[in-house]
Amino acid sequence: MNRLELDTSTPIWDRFFVVAPLVLIGTRDADGSLDLAPKHMAMPMGWQNYFGFVCSPSHGTCSNIERTGEFTVSYPRPSQILYSSLAALPRVDGHKPVLDVYDTFPASVVDGEFIDDAYLFLECRHHETFAGFGDNCLITGTVVAAQAEAGFLKSNDRDSAELIRDNPLLAYVSPGRFAEIGATHAFPFPANMKK
Ligand SMILES: Cc1cc2nc3c(=O)[nH]c(=O)nc-3n(C[C@H](O)[C@H](O)[C@H](O)COP(=O)(O)O)c2cc1C
């Protein structure tokens, strides 16, 4: 073993790689235009239909959700890596011009949009924002509607390994890398495990 001590007087997260999801959070800017922003610190909040992500209060996403009380979540496929990245570009004259070239479709319940070629689409109403994580906050929402691309849905008729091989998933390997996940294995759960 050769364990090295990490200095916790500064953020440690750029010193090693960890696996994370990558989603696009969709909100409405004050002028009604679409905003999409990539977030990798994002996950379900428990086993019920809650979703949360870490955001900087200085980001448009945060003020948009405070104002409108809703947001969308698109889970992009590996082929959308470039779109996912470009959505992080700063605004020019209060608008992210790159978003004009995205193909989007409207959410059904909340006032929002999704990117066309994602595979999972969540519509969320703002639940609660928790401040106090240094410069960041945790924004949570209740999932009030959801759609998924048919090929990505689990099914008793379809081997899960085969399903993921045919419909690979996108992982953000933080910091600064990504992976297309096609090869997976059944998790070796212990017998009698309870959720
Ligand atoms: C791969 C990637 C992952 C990111 N993850 C996060 C994140 O988890 N939380 C966050 O606040 N910003 C994250 N960002 C930065 C924001 O997406 C970026 O600052 C964006 O421009 C904010 O847009 P907004 O002002 O419209 O909210 C990430 C950027 C990239 C490229």
pLDDT digits (tens, 9 = 90+) for 149-158: 999 999 999 9
For the CA atoms of the chain, what is the radius of gyration?
18
Classified by CATH at the fold level, domain 18-181 comes out as Pnp Oxidase; Chain A (2.30.110)
Q: Is 95 in contact with 34 (CB distance < 8 Å)?
A: no
pTM of the predicted model as reported, rounded to 2 decimal places: 0.96
Ligand 1 site, residue 85, Cβ cutoff 6 A: yes
Q: Is 7 in contact with 14 (CB distance < 8 Å)?
A: no
Report the alpha-carbon distance of residue 8 to residue 66 in Å, rounded. 32
Nearest to 64 by CA among 40, 84, 92, 35: 35
Closest ligand 1 atom, residue 27 Cα: 26
Going edge to edge, which strands form the sheet with 169-174? 18-20, 169-174, 177-181
Q: Residue 173: what pLDDT?
A: 98
Closest ligand 1 atom, residue 42 Cα: 8
The two tokens of residue 100 are 């004009």
- Band the pLDDT of 110: cuts 50, 70, 90: very high
Q: Parallel, antiparallel, or unpaired: how do β-strands 50-55 and 136-148 relate?
A: antiparallel
The two tokens of residue 85 are 């990245």
3-state secondary structure of 21: coil
Backbone angles phi, psi at 89, to 5 degrees: -60, 145
Domain layout of the chain by residue ranges: 18-181
Ligand 1 site, residue 28, Cβ cutoff 6 A: no
Is pLDDT of 29 > 90?
yes
Is pLDDT of 5 > 90?
yes
